[in-house]
Structure 1
Amino acid sequence: MSLSPQLSSVLIAYSEPWRLDQLCQLVAGLRPGMLVAAFSDGRSALAACRRQLPSLLILDGELEGLDGFGLLRELRRHGPSQRLPCVLISERTDAPSVRAALPLAPAAYLGKPYDLDDLRSRIDRLLPRSAGGLARGPLGDDSLDSFLERMREHCRGAPLGEAAYAAIGSLLAGQTELAEEHAVLLGDPQVTARAISFANSHGPQQAQPSQTLAQAFERLGRTRSGELLAQLASQHNARLSDPQLAGLAGRLADQALLAAQLAAWLARRLQLDAAACHTAALLHNIGELALLRTLQDWLDSGGALQPDDLPRQLALRAAGYGSALRARWRLPLGLRQLISAYYALGSGVLGREALVLNLARQLLELPADRPATALAGCRAARLLRLDAAVLEQAPRALRD
C-alpha cells in the first residue's frame, strides 16, 4: 500500500491512557474536524502508518512492544516517511539519549512530564492549517461523563491487587520463582486476564486458546511470563493512589476471588472444569475494577469527584467497560460466555459450567442470615441436580 499521505490526520501513540486522551483533545481543540488515530502500543501504530501515512506523529518514547524511538526508526527507512514530522516525548532526557535521537530527526523532542502550553504551541506550528485554526480555550474542561466515555476503549483494565503487586516484586527481585507465586497471581483479575490475552495473541499457535492463568503461563514460558508481569507492575496506576478508590478496588477484588473460589468448589463437587469456572468468576467484575482505575486517571488529569459520582458511574458504565475489555483483549468466546452466565442464564441449551457460574452469584448475593439451602429450588440448582446438603457446605467466605 502507498505510504503517501492523502488526508490531513494525526497519529498519536502514548502508553498512558489519560495522557493519550489529553493529546487527542489537544489536537481536536487546535484543529476541529481533523482525523486523529490513537494507539497505546508501538506495533499497532506502525501498522497504521504503513496503511496510511498521517500528517503528524506524536509518539511516546516508552511505548509498549515497539517504543517511539524504534517506531520512528522504522519509518525513517522509507522514502515517503523520512520527512514525516514527529513530536517525540520521552523520560530519557539525558544528553546521550538526546544525541541518539538526532538521526531520527524529530521535529520536537520533549521530556516527561511535558509542558502543555509549550506542546500546544509546537503542535500548532506543525499541523496543516486547512483543518482549522488555533483554539485558545482551556484544555481538560470537559465533563467526567465525556472523559469516561472516551476512555472506555483505551483503558488498561484493572489495577493490580496488593498481594499480586508484592508477588511480582519478589519475582523481579529474584527472591521467589513463578511457581511459588502462582497461587497469589491466580487470584488477581488483571494478571489473569492479561496473561490469557497475551498468550493467545503472542504465544505459540495452538489448536485451543488458553482459558486459564496456568495455561497462559505454560504457553508463554517463564521468561515471557516474567516480562509480562514486569510490564503490568510498571504501568501507570498499576496501584491506585486515591484512598477511596483503592479501598473499593480492594473490596471488589476480594469479591472476585470469593466468587472464583466458590465457583471452583462447586465445579469440583460436580466433576466439572473447575479451572475454567474459577477464571470466569474471577473476571466477572473486571469492568468495575477497570472503571476505578480510569477514575484514578481522571483525578490525575486534574479532575475531581463529587460524592455521588462513584456509585453513579459504577452503575452506569461498569458493564460497558467489562464488555469492551473482554472484546479488545479477545478473551476466548467460551470464557466470555461463562462470564455472561454469571449474571444471567439464556433460554437456550445451558452448559453445566454456566449453571455453576450463575449459582455462585446467587449464593454470594444471598443474605448472610439465610441458609444456602434456600436456593435448592432455583433454576441453576435444579438443572445441576444439586443436593441441598452440598449447598449447605458451600464456602461463602474467603479461604486462605
Structure 2
Amino acid sequence: MNAVASMPPRVLIADSDPWMRDLLSQMLLAVRGDARLQMCATGPDALEHLRELPDLVIATRELPGISGLDLLRGVRKSPRLATLPFILLSERGDSASVREVLPLAPTAYLTKPVDMAGLKARLLTLLPNSGDVGAQRAPQIAAGTTLDHYVERRRLECDGGPLLCDVQAAVIRASGDMKVLEANLRSDPQVTAVLISAANSAAKPGASPVLTLQQALYALGVTQSRNLLLALASKPGAYLTDPLLLERAEVCWNRSAHTAEFARSIARQQQLDEWFCHCAGLLHCLGNLALLRVLQEWQLAGGELDEVRITQVLRTFSAPYGSELRRRWRLPLELRELIAAAYQLGGGVYSREKLIVNVAAQMASLGADEDVTQIAQGKPARLLKIGVSQLNWWRGAPMIR
C-alpha cells in the first residue's frame, strides 16, 4: 500500500448495487474504523477516484461503463498503481473467467455472494490496525445544531429503523432453512424493508418485482441474506436502548404487526395475495421507527431528549422519513402505493388490496374500548362487503407474531 502504516487507509469500493456497497463498507469499518471510504457505482467514477491513489480497491467485475476487469488491467499497466492491492468481485466463477483474470494478479478474485468471513480475513492482512481503530467513531453534533436541524439533515442518509428481532440468533436458529428464517423475521419492519430493497436492487432487468420478505429471501439466497442480516445487526444504533424511545418503538411495532395481520386475514378471506398485504401493513410505520433511531443517535451524541420533544419530532418528521426511505430504497411502486393506503386512499378507483390495508390500519388504531361499527360503515369496508361480525372475529383472532 502507498500509505504509511499509521495513516488511515483510503479504500475505493466500486459496485453498482447500493446494498453491496453498504455491506462492504460495514465490513471495512469493522476491520478499520478509521478507514476513509470512497464509494461509487460505475466504472468511469471509479477511474476518477483512482487518481487519488487509494490504498486498496474492491471492485465488481460487472461495473457499468468500464468493467472492473478493465479497471484492473489499467491499474496493472500504470507505473504509479501497478502494485495496488485490488480485490475483484464477480458473479462469474467459471474456469474461463478465472483464467482471464489470473494474469492480472488480483489480490483476490471472489465470486458473489461473497464469503464475508474469508473477505474479512484478507482485509485484516491488508489493513493492519495501528492502535485501537476497530470501533467506529461516536456521532458528533456541530455547535449550534438544533434537534430539528439534526433530524432534517439525517433524513436524507439515515439507515432506517431499529431492529425488533435478535437477527444474529434468528440466523443461527435457521441453519440455512429459509422457511424457518422467514418465520423468525417476518415481524421485523426493518429486516423486511432492507431485504426487499436489496433483492430488487440485485435483480436482473425485466425481472418481476420482489414484494414480500419470503420472495426476497429466496431471491437473495442463503449466503447473501445472511450477509445482509449480520451487517444490519452490526451497525451502530441497530437496537434501541433508551427506555423512552423503546416505549415509542413498541407502540409502532405493535401497530405495524396488528395492521399486517389484519391485512393478511382480510386478504385471505378475499382470496388475494395475503403476504403482499401483510408486508404493506408491516412497513407503514417505518418512518416513525427510523426517526426513533435518529433520536437515539442525537442522544448518544449528547443531545437532550424528553417526551415532549419526542412527540413533536414524531408528529413533524415521521411522514417525510417514511417517504424518503421508500424512495431511496427504491421499493417497488406497487408496494409503496399499498403502504400509502394505510394512511389514506385518495381519489379515483381503489384496488381491493388498498381497501384491505386501509381497513387493517383502521382496525389496528382502535383503542381497547372502541368498537368496529364506524369502520364497518366506512366506504372501504362496504366496498369489500365485510361487516361488524367479521371485523370483530378478526379482531379477536390470535396473531402469527
TM over 0.5: same fold? yes
Q: Hey, what does 1:154 align to over in structure 2?
A: 157
Cα-to-partner distance string for 1:290-338 (whole Å, 9 max, x where unaligned): 0111111112222221442110110010111110000011000000000
| Cα-to-partner distance string for 1:130-164 (whole Å, 9 max, x where unaligned) | xxxxxxxx944412111111111111111111454
Equivalent position of 1:320 in the other structure: 320
Which digits, 9 at most, give the CA deviation of each residue in 1:231-261, with x for residues without a partner?
1111111111222212322331122111100
Deviation at 1:177, TM superposition (A): 3.4
Q: Supply the distance in 1 between the matched residues of 2:79 and 2:156 (Cα, whole angstroms).
A: 31
The DSSP-based 3-state class of the residue aligned with 2:241 is coil
Corresponding residue of 2:229: 229
> What does 1:1-400 correspond to in 2, within 5 Å?
43-44=39-40, 49-50=45-46, 53=49, 100-101=126-127, 111-112=133-134, 139-164=142-167, 166-171=169-174, 174=175, 177-205=177-205, 207-395=207-395, 399-400=399-400
Quote the sequence identity (%). 36
Q: 1:245 to 1:205 in 2, by over 3 A?
A: same
Q: Matched residue pairs, number?
A: 323
Compute the RMSD of aligned alpha carbons: 4.1
- Output the CA distance in 1 between the equivalents of 2:51 and 2:283: 40
Corresponding residue of 2:96: none
TM-score, structure 2 as length reference = 0.68
C-alpha distance in 2 between matches for 1:307 and 1:12: 42
Contact 2:40-2:46 at 8 Å conserved across structures: no
Q: 380-389 or 194-203, which moves further after superposition?
A: 380-389
Letter in 1 for 2:177: E
- When residues 64 and 327 of structure 1 are mapped into structure 2, their CA distance, relative to the original with a 3 A threshold, is farther
Code of the aligned partner of 2:150: F
TM-score after normalising by structure 1:
0.68
Shift of 1:166: 3.5
Task: Provide the C-alpha distance between the structure 2 equivalents of 1:251 and 1:165, rounded to a whole number of angstroms.
Answer: 24
Retained in 2: the 8 A contact 1:167–1:181? yes
CA distance in 2, matches of 1:202, 1:258: 31
Consecutive unaligned residues in structure 2, runs of 5 or more: 1-10, 14-21, 30-35, 62-67, 82-121
Do 2:182 and 2:217's aligned partners in 1 also have CA atoms closer than 8 Å? no
For the residue of structure 2 that corresponds to 1:312, the secondary structure is helix
Distance 1:80 1:189 in 2: 50
> Separation in 1 of the partners of 2:59 and 2:372?
47
Whole-angstrom distance in 2 between the partners of 1:54 and 1:309: 45
How far is 1:204 from its partner? 4.6
| 2:376–2:391 CA contact under 8 A, matched in 1 | yes
Q: Do the aligned partners of residues 311 and 168 (structure 1) sit closer, same or farther apart at CA in structure 2, a change above 3 Å counting? A: farther
- C-alpha contact 1:42 1:64 (8 A) present in aligned 2: no
Alpha carbons 1:342, 1:358 under 8 Å: kept: yes
Q: 1:113 to 1:192 in 2, by over 3 A?
A: closer
CA distance in 1 between counterparts of 2:190 and 2:60 reads 19
Deviations 1:166-202 (A, max 9, x none): 323544xx4x733223212111101110110000111
In the alignment, is the contact (CA less than 8 A) between 1:204 and 1:219 conserved in 2?
Answer: no
Whether the 8 Å contact between 1:196 and 1:331 is mirrored in structure 2 is yes
| Residue identity in the other structure for 1:111 | V
* Deviation, structure 1 residue 368: 2.5
| SS state at 1:305 partner | coil
Give, in whole Å, the separation in 1 of the partners of 2:366 and 2:125.
64
Question: For the Cα contact (< 8 Å) 2:165–2:185, is it kept in 1?
Answer: no
User: Given the superposition, is the C-alpha separation of residues 332 and 307 from structure 1 closer, same or farther in structure 2, using an over 3 Å criterion?
Assistant: same
Change (3 A) 1:65 1:298: farther
Q: Give the Cα separation in 2 of the matches to 1:337 and 1:290.
A: 19
